[in-house]
Amino acid sequence: MTYVKRVPYVKRVTYVTLAVLVLVTGGCTPMAGGVQGTPGASGVQDPYFPRLGNGGYDVSHYALDLAFDPASGRLDGTARITARATQDLSAFNLDLAGLTVAKATVDGAPAAANRAGDELTLRPRDELRRGDEFTVTVDYSGVPEPLTDPDGSTEGWLNSADGALAVGEPAGSMTWFPGNHHPSDKASYEIALTAPSRLTALSNGVRVSAAPVSGDRTRTVWRQSEPMASYLATVMIGRYETTTGTALGDVPVVTAVDPSLTAATAALRAELPALLADQRDRYGPYPFGAAGAVVTADGLLGYALETQTRPVFPASSFDRTTLVHELAHQWFGNSVTPESWQDIWLNEGFATYAEWRYAEDHEDVPARSAFEDAFADEANWAFPPADPPAAENLFGAPVYQRGAMVLHKVREAVGDEVFDELLRGWAAKYRHANASTEDFTAYAETVAGRDLDAVWDVWLYGEERPANPG
Ligand code: ARG
Ligand code: ZN
């Protein structure tokens, strides 16, 4: 899918994008008798990360072949990307941070490759016509570096004591593979990992094969067939104690925990199928063909993350509430994915509401009391959930807590029965797609059969805390 900019919320214009366009266009000559394509844009103008993602094409599939040597920290990769041109293209960009590109091809022919910052520009030998499907290969290598987020947390390729963990929300996936790294362009994935045979190598989706290769190494192939935003791609290589089983009838479940945590995590791990069934009953069919959870030793990752089909938890946040939160993201965030980072409350507000709902259903704490606690907390009123002031606020308290408060107010406005139908309908209507805040407000009003301005004005967009919780 392609991201369409919503004018009222644009925060920044990047002049760098324009400069790159001018530079690339300057060297362009028309092909004899052919159309004259233009370079694809170097970003999709996301309000918070204007150069994330790229214009001019849509990716349908990534095949990543990654060999990792934990001793040296070196990654050797080949990315094979299948895409369709959405304009006549003389050149296009991929996002890639660090690493060295040895070779790139488009439809088998060598393509000129240029690097500038986190942008890799490829110029195919033959221009691409709008509507053409094409295949890009990029051979690359190096020692990947983690990335520090605007909010100070760390993501990307993280080296552990015996392997590595790769995560990417919001922008870290470009530290380990070239791609169209904006959530609006979802694709299927096949991720092959070559690593020392004594280690476990996990990624998203189902494991399709594992075969020994030279040097006491194993090549393990994982397949994520349903669309995935690149920020949800993951790699876990290391010593893990794994279990396999099924949930929801026939969905394969893989859990992996750091060996030091086996005993402490056993009970909660065993609850995963029941928690998934509980959420399936609330939110509708589970959107993916695989499930699981990974628990790492503390110190590697500073937060839990809903990596698709295989959420990851630092040991200290592997508790039932956080597990409920990350599993709820499989519906809200991973299947229904924000159209831009401005829509992040559609992830975090919904996953937080799933925690409130779980506590109401199973722990005798009505969602209304969670709502009142959130209302009383000053931190939740720093900014409106639909309009975080800057990239460093995307994972701030109002996005989670006020995002959930919005949903509670919708519930109070429409009643429990319609609200349940609304959440299930939202997950169904935008299943495996992208959605924006405006999509949600319009959808909710359709289900409610009336406008809900009173909810949106105060709870979603309002700057000030109202006099009382209502
Ligand atoms: N999405 C994660 C969650 O489930 C949090 C990610 C935090 N990332 C960050 N860069 N601060 O809450
Ligand atoms: Zn979350």
Residues 344 and 313 occupy one common structural domain: no
For 78-131, write each residue's pLDDT tens digit: 999 999 999 999 999 999 999 999 999 999 999 999 999 999 999 999 999 999
Is pLDDT of 9 > 90? no
Ligand 1 centroid from CA 294, angstroms? 16
398: three-class secondary structure by DSSP? helix
Residues 249 and 181 occupy one common structural domain: no
Question: Per the domain annotation, does 164 fall within a domain?
Answer: yes
For 134-170, write each residue's pLDDT tens digit: 999 999 999 999 999 999 999 999 999 999 999 999 9
- Ligand 1 atom with the smallest distance to the CA of 150 is 10
Question: Per the domain annotation, does 43 fall within a domain?
Answer: no
Range of the domain at 305: 240-330
Question: Per the domain annotation, does 53 fall within a domain?
Answer: no
Residues 231 and 353 occupy one common structural domain: no
Residues 229 and 253 occupy one common structural domain: no
Residues 379 and 317 occupy one common structural domain: no
Question: Per the domain annotation, does 75 fall within a domain?
Answer: yes
Q: Is 383 in the pocket of ligand 1 (CB under 6 A)?
A: no
Q: What is the CATH number of the domain that holds 104?
A: 2.60.40.1730
Last residue of a domain, one of 186, 218, 235: 235
Q: Are 232 and 334 in contact (CB under 8 A)?
A: yes
Q: Is 199 in the pocket of ligand 1 (CB under 6 A)?
A: no
Ligand 1 centroid from CA 217, angstroms? 33
Paired tokens of 175:
């530290």
Quickly count: other Cβ atoms within 10 Å of residue 289's Cβ. Answer: 15
Residues 320 and 346 occupy one common structural domain: no
Looking at residue 36, what is its pLDDT?
87
Question: Per the domain annotation, does 467 fall within a domain?
Answer: no
Measured distance CA(169)–CA(151) in Å, rounded:
12
Distance of CA 445 to the CA centre of its chain: 27
Nearest CA to ligand 1 atom 2: 305
Nearest CA to ligand 1 atom 5: 305
Q: For the sheet containing 206-213, what is the strand order?
A: 109-110, 100-106, 133-142, 74-85, 57-69, 187-196, 217-228, 206-213
12-35 b/e (C-beta count within 10 Å ≥ 16 → b): eeeeebeebbeebeeeeeeeeeee
Handedness of CA 442, 446, 447, 452 (dihedral sign): positive
Residues 122 and 16 occupy one common structural domain: yes
Residue 35 — very low, low, confident or very high, per pLDDT cuts 50/70/90? Answer: low
Residues 407 and 297 occupy one common structural domain: no
269: three-class secondary structure by DSSP? helix
**Exposure of 203 in the CB half-sphere (CA atoms within 13 A):** 29
β strands within 129-240, DSSP E: 133-142, 146-148, 154-159, 164-167, 187-196, 200-202, 206-213, 217-228, 235-238
Is pLDDT of 469 > 60? yes
Looking at residue 34, what is its pLDDT?
57
Segment 183-211 shows an average pLDDT of: 98
Residues 27 and 161 occupy one common structural domain: yes
Paired tokens of 85:
């041109």
Q: How many domains does the chain have?
A: 3
| Tokens 């195919």 -> residue | 124
Q: What is the CATH number of the domain that holds 279?
A: 1.10.390.10
Question: Which residues crowd ion ligand 2, with CB under 5 Å?
Answer: 348, 351
Question: Per the domain annotation, does 41 fall within a domain?
Answer: no
Residue 232 — very low, low, confident or very high, per pLDDT cuts 50/70/90? Answer: very high
Q: Are 17 and 74 in contact (CB under 8 A)?
A: no
- Residue 284 region, left (φ>0) first, then alpha (ψ -120 to 50), else beta? left
Higher-pLDDT residue of 185 and 24 is 185
Amino acid at 5: K
Residues 215 and 257 occupy one common structural domain: no
Question: What DSSP character marks residue 357?
Answer: H
Last residue of a domain, one of 219, 235, 251: 235
Q: Is 154 in the pocket of ligand 1 (CB under 6 A)?
A: no
What percent of the chain is modeled with pLDDT above 70?
93
For 356-394, write each residue's pLDDT tens digit: 999 999 999 999 999 999 999 999 999 999 999 999 999
Question: Per the domain annotation, does 48 fall within a domain?
Answer: no
Is pLDDT of 428 > 90? yes
Last residue of a domain, one of 330, 353, 369: 330
Mean pLDDT (the chain) is 94
Residues 196 and 274 occupy one common structural domain: no
Computed on alpha carbons and rounded to an integer, the radius of gyration of the chain in Å comes to 22
Looking at residue 12, what is its pLDDT?
31
Segment 59-76 shows an average pLDDT of: 98
Q: Is 323 in the pocket of ligand 1 (CB under 6 A)?
A: no
For 309-361, write each residue's pLDDT tens digit: 999 999 999 999 999 999 999 999 999 999 999 999 999 999 999 999 999 99
| Tokens 């139908």 -> residue | 421
For 403-424, write each residue's pLDDT tens digit: 999 999 999 999 999 999 999 9
Ligand 1 centroid from CA 394, angstroms? 9
Residues 138 and 208 occupy one common structural domain: yes
Question: Per the domain annotation, does 189 fall within a domain?
Answer: yes
